[in-house]
Amino acid sequence: MIIYHNPRCRKSRETLELLKENGVEPEVVKYLETPLDYEELKALVTRLNIGATELLRKGEKEYKENYKGKDLSEKEAIEAMVKFPKLMERPIVVKDNKAVIGRPPENVIQLIN
């Protein structure tokens, strides 16, 4: 299991703790330090079974300054997250070919069972 984690994010920390409480020691990827490339993000969106624009954090300064009011294509949304990794929703937990966003943290329970 992998968690794309931002240690400064409360929900991300809560999700990691929930995994550990359930006996899971995930591989922790601090995606702000080790950003995902285009293909990795595209695969992640597929595993999440959502559109790339749904993975964008639209409240972030980088989004408001560069993309607000624009109708981004899937490709443009992924490119935005490659350029500004902070725009990727967090945390994301991956197990095999499935992934969930840990908002709320309890979402990850479905990957544990």
pLDDT tens-digit readout, 34-82: 999 999 999 999 999 999 999 999 999 999 999 999 999 999 999 999 9
Task: Give percent above pLDDT 90 in the chain.
Answer: 99
Please report, for the domain that includes residue 93, its CATH number: 3.40.30.10
Q: Which domain holds residue 30?
A: 2-112
Instruction: Provide the CA 41 distance to its chain's centre, in angstroms.
Output: 9
In the chain, the number of structural domains is 1
What is the spatial distance between Cα 31 and Cα 5, in angstroms, rounded to a whole number?
Answer: 6
Phi-psi region of 69 (alpha: psi -120 to 50; beta: other; left: phi over 0): left
Half-sphere exposure of 49 (CA within 13 A, CB side): 5
Residue tagged 């095999």 (tokens): 96
Question: At 100, is the secondary structure helix, strand, or coil?
Answer: strand
Confidence of residue 113 (pLDDT cuts 50, 70, 90): confident
Q: Which residues are catalytic?
A: 9
